[in-house]
Structure 1
């Protein structure tokens, strides 16, 4: 091995051990604080018809808002958009594209923060909004501390809340849920990827999980995947780390995994940034062809990595449906038809791999990114 490469890897491992906390996952599905989507719909069967009609609106041509607006509708967006994944940027683009098509007069203030780590900044932004409340707040919910922030806003009638990238209603909000939960169900995506890995390794595999930040997204994307794989014959989890949806931390964790487990077959990555960090480490160590890595979401960076043969496969979200759904929900409120908005909108996935034809991918891209490309 090249001496420079050896020392770089050695220093990265030491730096990782002493500066980046990581944890072994308990693997118990931590869903006590929320309902899985299928369970919620079983408890509220009336939501199925409302949801079906709403999905039709999202997938159809926009019907312009015809009522007169005395004032612009004020919208505040706070997203963890400072990451490689373009999901959040595309969400804003598709939201604005649909709002314009709907002919809604609006003022948008949007703020991007770091994924999983800017809790204080997010709290400050939400606190400032309470002094000058917007008509609609679009936020995400992952860390436990987010619940208190959102609960204080939901409890007032000044601002309607849309929770992005979450499709499992929070039990603590049952008396008064947000206007809409919107996104692509993490549990469904995790099961799709688990089935793909099972087909890739029918006799079982040795694998690792790279979680994001401790919270809702990691629990559903990671623990649901583990639960599915634990029922697969001879599959064994060799290690799992929280890497805060951070590319560099995922890179260091992967180096550690490769050092400790030379028999590793694949790494299950819980996000785009995590997958790219793992690929960085696999490229550096010459293990890219021996250890598979999935993507999560199917944004531009992932599709490019698959095209170059760096990533094996991903679940691709029909991305722009999330922004369209948010705009349609706002239109319903402005029309006095809030009852037409379902509690949850969950968009569709497609599986993309290195065998997906360019013609099919072009068709999926034109659908998924119809506003944001």
Structure 2
């Protein structure tokens, strides 16, 4: 209880130093290559686990005395397609694994408003597993008390950059994507596809995990390719604010491409391009594909999308819980695949790629 009180005090007085905390966390991150080099036994375990993810489900081999209790902390709109897709895929895999479980979902609408209700409820409920779908300074501080005690066990969803500070007491598993690799693929593709004289601008995030792993790296890659980024605006991962920032860029001069650092930004930029109509031929990128994302690719407002195999993350969470219940060895890091979805592909190819990424939740994305 004392440590929980310390967490509350830290959040209450610590929000003013959030950018510093974010920058500090960026320096504390490892990529998968560094992690596997540091702990060589993790590599073979990760390969075995990847095989499990891509194989048909195999029901749990041990009998359960009671339902396993899982707390899932979601962020933003609980009814967003990303959150609903996670829940659909996770529940389906747990059902296929024949695991008796109770899932309690909690929502943090915004970590900046100081509302700790969800965190307090999770701590009071004493679950067996805590699955957190975002890791920032607040969540890191909250989870460290669990990592020290070993209860409940922690799974970090959509976060695949192990923290050096946690190397001796890691979460049960990090599951996510190699954001550096995905961003490098995107930058390389754009360098090959955009004309040499293309005018590029960028909407980037404030200091944060994705700000470091995507935005900073993209700007570095453009510098490496000797492609100047003429204007850079910092915006939150919010559609409306990105819409206003994109309109500012589009109204101030000719632009061929606007780099969007996160999906909320992409949504705002696409909306701004739609509003401009034929007055602008600019394009942007997306991270994943929203419900109308295929239409945006086909209209060429979106030049390319980084398509993440998102359902595999939900499957990985279910399989990690199963292996833990069975007492079997597993890796502490699972990195799912990401591929590029260029606008030049035909409609059927785009549809098949979407099915590959969302093979458990594809109905949601087709609505």
TM-score for the superposition, normalised by structure 2: 0.85
Match among 114, 123, 126 for residue 120 of structure 1: 114
Worse-matched range after superposition: 311-320 or 99-108: 311-320
CA distance in 1, matches of 2:319, 2:128: 15
Structure 1, unmatched stretches of 5+, are 1-27
Which whole-Å CA distance do the structure 1 matches of 2:197 and 2:299 have between them?
27
**In the TM superposition, what are the counterparts of 1:252-267 in structure 2 within 5 Å?**
252-260=244-252, 262-267=253-258
Deviations 1:234-256 (A, max 9, x none): x1122333322110000111122
Q: By how many angstroms is 1:319 displaced?
A: 1.6
* Correspondence for 1:359: 348
Q: CA deviation at 1:167?
A: 0.6
**1:336 Cα deviation after fit:** 0.8
In structure 2, stretches of 5+ residues that fail to align are: 1-22, 363-367
What's the CA shift for 1:305?
2.1
**2:55 aligned with 1:57, yes or no?**
no
Change (3 A) 1:86 1:189: farther
Indicate yes or no: 2:265 matched with 1:274. yes
Match of 1:110 in 2: 105
Give 1:187's aligned residue. Answer: 180
8 A contact 2:298–2:347 mirrored in 1: no
Across the aligned residues of Structure 1 and Structure 2, the Cα RMSD in angstroms comes to 2.3
1:306–1:268 CA distance, 2 compared to 1 (3 A)? same
**How many residue pairs are counted as aligned between the two chains?**
340
- How far apart, in 2, do the equivalents of 1:228 and 1:84 lie? 35
Deviation at residue 188 of structure 1 after TM alignment: 1.6
Separation (CA, whole Å) in 2 of partners of 1:185 and 1:119: 30
| Paired position in structure 2 for 1:12 | none
Structure 1 residue 239 corresponds to structure 2 residue 228: no
Moved more, 49-58 or 363-372: 363-372
In structure 2, the residue matched to 1:325 is 316
| Structure 1 outlier segments of 4+, above 6 Å | none
Q: Which residue is equivalent to 1:135?
A: 128
Q: Deviations over 1:110-162 (max 9, x none)?
A: 13444x655634x4312221112111111034432322112122222220101
The aligned residue for residue 285 of structure 1 is 276
- Aligned residues of 2:46 and 2:333 also touching (Cα < 8 A): yes
Find the aligned partners of 1:230 and 1:88 in 2 and give their Cα distance.
35
The equivalent residue for 1:14 is none
Q: Distance in 1 between matches of 2:71 and 2:57?
A: 22
Higher mean displacement: 156-165 or 76-85: 76-85
Deviation digits for residues 214-253 of structure 1 (CA, Å, limit 9, x no counterpart): 31122111111111111012x1122333322110000111
Mapped partners of 2:24, 2:352: distance in 1: 36
Query: Aligned pair in 2 of structure 1 residues 243, 142: CA closer, same or farther (>3 Å)?
Result: farther
In structure 2, the partner of 1:91 is 86
2:64 to 69, 75, 95: 69
List aligned pairs for 1:139-154, cutoff 5 A. 139-154=132-147
- Matched with 1:82 is 77
User: For the structure 1 residues 303 and 44, does the alpha-carbon distance in structure 2 shift closer, same or farther, using more than 3 Å as the test?
Assistant: farther
1:318-339 per-residue CA deviation (whole Å, 9 max, x = no partner) reads 12100000000000110011x2
Deviation at 1:204, TM superposition (A): 5.5
Counterpart Cα distance in 2 of 1:83 and 1:242: 26
Answer yes or no: is the 8 Å Cα contact 2:107–2:118 preserved in 1.
no
1:45 equivalent among 37, 40, 43: 40
Residue of 320, 327, 339 corresponding to 1:350: 339
1:118 to 1:89, Cα distance in 2 relative to 1, 3 A: farther
2 CA distance for matches of 1:237 and 1:224?
13
Q: Structure 1 residues 231 and 85, CA, compared in 2 at 3 Å: closer, same or farther? A: farther
Provide TM-score, normalisation by structure 1.
0.84
Contact 1:204-1:232 at 8 Å conserved across structures: no
SS of corresponding position for 1:356: coil
Higher helix share: 2
With over 3 angstroms needed to count, the CA separation of the structure-2 counterparts of 1:224 and 1:240, relative to structure 1, is: same
Per the alignment, residue 163 of structure 1 pairs with 156
Q: 1:108 to 1:118 in 2, by over 3 A?
A: farther
CA distance, structure 2, for counterparts of residue 332 and residue 220 of structure 1: 30
